[in-house]
Structure formats: C-alpha cells, structure tokens
Amino acid sequence: MFQLTQKKAVVTGGGSGIGKAVAIALAARGAFVHIIDNNAAAAAETLSEIANAGRSGKVHTCDVSKQSEVVEVFNQIGQHDVLVNCAGISHIGKADTTSEADFDRVVNVNVKGVYHCLYASIPHMKKNGGGAIINICSIAAHVGLSDRFAYSMSKGAVHAMTLSVARDYLADHIRCNSISPARVHTPFVDGFIARTYPGKEAEMFEKLSKSQPIGRMATPAEIAGLVVYLAADEASFITGTDYPIDGGFITLNN
C-alpha cells in the first residue's frame, strides 16, 4: 500500500524539518522528489540522504515569496503528481506588538508562498490529468494560541486556500487537503528555545512538550507518514479535509 512509484512529487521547504522528512518519506515510497528550498546546502543534504537510500530527486533553489522564481522552477519541473507546501516561517507577537514589516514577512512566505506554488503547480496538474496537493497548516488555524497573531493568521489563510482549491478543481481530478500539526520537534524549535530561554532550554522543552495532552512533541516523520497517505492513490476519495495531528491538543485541551 501507499506506493508512489512512477510519481513525481514537489516539496517546498524540503531542506529541513517537516519538509525534509516529507521529501525522504515520499522518495522512500518510490516518488522522484523535487526539493524546493531557499537554502541550497540544506536541500542538497536532503537529496544526499535520499540518494544514499537508493532513491532519486532534484534540488531547486527558490524563494517561494517571489512568484517569478516559483513559476520558473515549476516550468522546469513540468509534469508532476504531488505538491506538498511545507515552506513557512514562524513569528511571536500579538496584534499590537507585531510590526508591519514582520506581518508582511509572514504573509509573503506563509500565504503568498503557498499561493505562488498553487498558481504555478495547478496548470501542470491539469495537463497531467490530476494530482494531489497537501498543505502544511497548523492547529493555529483552529484554536487561539498566545503570541502567535501573524502566524495564526497565515495558517488560517492556508486552511481557506485548501478548501477553495479542493472545490475549484474537482473536475480536474486535483485533490487538495491540509495537515494541522501541533508542536513538532525540529531544529527550528531547538533554536527558538535556545534564543528565547537561554539557560532554561531543558525546562522549556519539557514545558512545551507537555502542552500536548499526549505528553510530547510530534516527530517530523510522523507528519510525513500522513503526507504519504494523502499523496497515495489509497486516499483518492479524500479532498477538502484538514487533518489535525496534534497529540489531542485541539479536542482534549478544552
């Protein structure tokens, strides 16, 4: 089950974190994976791990916030079956402590970045006779998180875009779903804790881990497993759905 042999997949943000795990997991199931990232060295490391496992892929250096770059890359890639929008950034702040510059930065990457990839990918999928799109959303689109004003706004937009794309391209056999993780243990999380709570890293890691009812953070591989399912033909009856993968955060914290 869940074999992706003969399929071509595109993963944005594939150089690190969830995106890296997704790229590796899709390749392990047989897909040829196109890795899009603005960090060429990190993307190359992901590709190296894929190659070492006997699988194939290609790196594309691109800033997803710039539509011209995105369109050029997707035209180079051409026909593909799967798009996973993982690229994104975080931000800490409330409505009255978020600067316009920071707000715009989050919009440009998290909202326009997803839009740009949808804009560039969908015409190729239509010509291909269909495909599967998976957007990495967040529990922030569903619940109120403290000090995450801009980030939550951006993920709410990703959720809405998922529903719109799912509706608009039914006749083109393009499925679009999203995944909403809670906290996932990535290098970004470790860096955030080190910068924000110097000297209290272990204490804060434990506190953030326990904020999930299940008692720990997710691993990137756990998110990638759900991506593999939604990309596979076994999920061909699923579209317009968001999947919380949150250790019970949304339903059990109330």
Residues with catalytic function:
151
For residue 129, the SS3 value is coil
Q: How far, in Å, CA of 8 to CA of 34, rounded? A: 8
CB 60 within 8 A of CB 34: yes
Q: Which two tokens stand for residue 199?
A: 């000297």
Contact of 87 with 12, CB cutoff 8 Å: yes
Q: Are strands 57-61 and 32-37 parallel, antiparallel or unpaired?
A: parallel
Q: Which distant-in-sequence residues (6+ apart) come within 8 Å of 219 by Cβ?
A: 21, 184, 185
Instruction: Assess contact for 193 and 208: CB atoms under 8 A.
Output: yes
Rg (CA), the chain: 17
Q: Which residue is listed with tokens 């619940």?
A: 143
Phi first, then psi, for residue 4 (nearest 5°) are: -120, 20
**Is residue 90 within 8 Å of residue 188, measured between CB atoms?**
yes
Structure tokens at 134: 């998976």
